[in-house]
Amino acid sequence: MEIYQLLPKTNCKICGESTCMAFAVALLGRKKNISECTPILEGDFKKQKEKLEALLLPSAGAEETGMIVHPEICTGCGNCVVACPVDVANDPKGAAIGCAPTNDKVIFRVVDGKVVASNIKECRRFGKNRVLCYACIDPCPTGAIEFV
């Protein structure tokens, strides 16, 4: 819904979907790319496009794990960085002891004061030995990380 609100809402069909709503659903399901909506790349919609990207980018990979990150409410506290068991295992001398991550194998990083997730396939909620891990959700003060 939040995604739909940010689209041009003209139902012009350039993106190949019949309505903006359908495009929003396709975006959420990663079946479409923002740039396929050419009207939003132009002029007045620039701000909205940035917001859309913020909404969508961090959760690239969400189709497998269902992770959604909301950078706009993240405080950049780093609790998730240090609490995630994958980060602890992959960076014992950095993230695990509260310091800045020392390698690229961690899932969470804080960039410009907001969280960015990568390596999401490493998440324990994914793969064949998956477990229902809450180690990044419970320590978050603002609910900036969700799984859908």
Partner 1 sequence: MATCPGCALLCDDIEVIVENNRIKETKNACRRGAARIKGCINRLEPKIAQKPSDIESAVRKAAEILGNAKSPMLFGWSNSTCEAQVKGIQLAKKLGAIIDDTSSFCQGLLIEKLLQKKFRTCTLEEVRNKADVLVYWGSDAQDSEPRHLSRFSYFPRGESRQRGYEEDRIAIAIDVRESNTAKICKGHFYRIQPKGDREFILALIDALSGKVPAYEPKKILELASILKKAEYGVIFAGIGLTYSIKDDFDILVALADKIPNFHIMPMVGHYNMRGFNENLFKETGFVNRVKFDGKVVHDNRYSIVEALREKSIDALLVAGSDPLSSLPRSLVRHLASIRVICIDPCVTMTSKIATVTIPCAVSGVESGGTAVRMDGKIIELSKIIESDYPTDEELLSRLMGAL
Residues of this chain, 66-95, that bind partner 1 according to CB under 8 A: 74-79, 81-83, 88
Nearer to partner 1, 44 or 112 (CB): 112
Under DSSP, is residue 84 helix (H, G, I), strand (E, B) or coil?
coil
For partner 1, the binding residue among 13, 41, 46, 113 (CB under 8 A) is 113
Residue whose entry in the numeric block shows the structure tokens 């960015």: 116
Nearer to partner 1, 14 or 116 (CB): 116
Residue 107 CB neighbour total at 10 angstroms:
27
Q: Are 85 and 135 in contact (CB under 8 A)?
A: yes
The token duo for 59 is 């959760």
Return the closest-CA partner of residue 65 out of 2, 5, 117.
117
Nearer to ligand SF4, 25 or 102 (CB): 25
Q: Look at strands 67-69 and 145-147 and give their pairing.
A: antiparallel
Binding region for ligand SF4 (CB under 6 A): 7-8, 10-15, 17, 20, 23, 37, 39-40, 74-80, 84-86, 107, 110, 115, 123-125, 133, 135-136, 139-142, 144-145
CA dist 55 and 50 (Å) reads: 9
Nearer to ligand SF4, 62 or 136 (CB): 136
Interface residues with partner 1 (CB under 8 A)? 74-79, 81-83, 88, 96-101, 109-114, 135, 138-139, 141-142
